[in-house]
């Protein structure tokens, strides 16, 4: 894996959003992280052929919007727990596809259960600047996915 | 003829996505039941007439592999076609599942036409 994985993650992220949620992503633009807070981050560790984690960061608003889009609900009625279930599942699908894109279909990986937590702005800025991250907007809200090999 | 399905996944989001894609697939869909793990799935299989089971693998309490193994021990349940829907991308694991009684496998995410193709191979025409 000598080249940056950013373009591969971009492609996976766009495909998963379109196919799983019928959401069409917009290109990334520079953001003011503090203005978009609060953020949350989901981390999924993987083991096996390689070790590391994939992190998905987005705003709380975007998490609720994703849930509403997928389940056909009103975003104002989406609970935090329901929104978290959606971003966990989204990361689960994205992570599986990133690993297959990067390493092929022969190696075996074990994925842990995704962990979710609030995220600080400094961490989000670091993820957004990483060449190993994919980044899109959906309806004006950012989604960042970063690969962090151990 | 409409077919009854059981969708098994611990994520409500994942189940909703599968149900949505199932209804868009063009397959004649009757009742769609949902379970969040293998234990709940077996309880539903006891009382509901299910034509095909669509299940994830990684779930708490009883995972998809354990569910499939349990179904294989029961003559009636072993006859229900199983489609695994998972993020699993390893061909090694997929081949193992196919040896254990799984009839077809789809990796998430997938469009409605892929689901239709998979189900057409499982359901009576």
B30 in a domain, yes or no?
no
In a domain, B66, yes or no: yes
The parent domain of residue B73 ranges over: 1-6+35-110
Would A127 be classed as within a structural domain? Answer: yes
The answer to whether residue A98 is domain-embedded is yes
- CATH number of the domain to which B54 belongs: 3.40.50.2300
Residue pLDDT, tens place only, B65-122: 999 999 999 999 999 999 999 987 778 888 888 888 898 999 999 999 999 999 999 9
Return d(Cα B58, Cα B36) in angstroms, integer: 11
Q: Does A102 touch chain B (CB under 8 A)?
A: no
Contact: B16, A71; criterion CB under 8 Å: yes
Instruction: Quote the domain boundaries for residue A83.
Output: 6-22+38-149
> CB count, 10 Å around CB of A113?
11
Residue in B with minimal Cα distance to A68: B13
Q: Is residue B79 part of a domain?
A: yes
> In this structure, is residue B94 part of a structural domain?
yes
Reported ipTM: the value is 0.89
Q: Is A21 on the interface with B (CB under 8 A)?
A: yes
Whether residues A106 and B92 touch (CB distance < 8 A) is answered with yes
pLDDT digits (tens, 9 = 90+) for A13-67: 999 999 998 999 999 988 899 999 999 999 999 998 889 999 999 999 999 999 9
**What CATH code is carried by the domain that includes residue A83?**
3.40.1550.10
A2 band by pLDDT with thresholds 50, 70 and 90: low
- Tally the domains of chain A: 1
What domain count does chain B have? 1
- Which residues of chain A make contact with B20, given a CB cutoff of 8 A? 70
A40 to chain B, closest Cα gap in Å: 18
- Whether residue B67 is contained in a domain is answered as yes
Rounded Cα–Cα distance for residues B98 and B92 (Å): 10
């Amino acid at each position: 894996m000598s080249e940056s994985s950013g373009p591969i993650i971009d492609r996976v992220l766009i495909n998963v959003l379109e196919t799983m949620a019928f959401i069409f992503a917009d290109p990334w633009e520079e953001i003011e992280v503090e203005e978009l807070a609060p953020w949350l981050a989901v981390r999924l560790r993987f083991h096996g052929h390689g070790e590391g984690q994939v992190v998905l960061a987005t705003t709380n608003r975007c998490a609720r919007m994703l849930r509403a889009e997928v389940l056909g609900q009103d975003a104002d009625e989406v609970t935090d727990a329901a929104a978290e279930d959606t971003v966990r599942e989204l990361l689960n699908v994205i992570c599986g596809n990133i690993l297959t894109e990067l390493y092929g279909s022969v190696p075996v990986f074990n994925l842990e259960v995704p962990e979710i937590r609030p995220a600080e702005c400094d961490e989000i800025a670091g993820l957004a600047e990483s060449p190993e991250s994919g980044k899109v907007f959906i309806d004006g809200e950012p989604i960042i996915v970063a690969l962090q090999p151990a | 003829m409409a077919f009854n399905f059981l969708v098994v996944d611990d994520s409500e989001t994942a189940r909703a996505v599968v149900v949505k894609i199932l209804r868009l697939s063009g397959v004649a869909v009757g009742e769609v039941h949902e379970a969040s793990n293998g234990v709940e799935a077996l309880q539903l299989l006891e009382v509901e007439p299910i034509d095909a089971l669509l299940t994830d693998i990684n779930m708490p309490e009883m995972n998809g592999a354990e569910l499939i193994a349990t179904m294989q021990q029961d003559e009636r349940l072993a006859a229900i076609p199983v489609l695994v829907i998972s993020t699993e991308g390893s061909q090694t694991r997929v081949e193992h599942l196919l040896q254990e009684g799984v009839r077809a496998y789809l990796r998430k995410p997938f469009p409605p036409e892929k689901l239709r193709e998979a189900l057409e191979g499982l359901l009576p025409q």
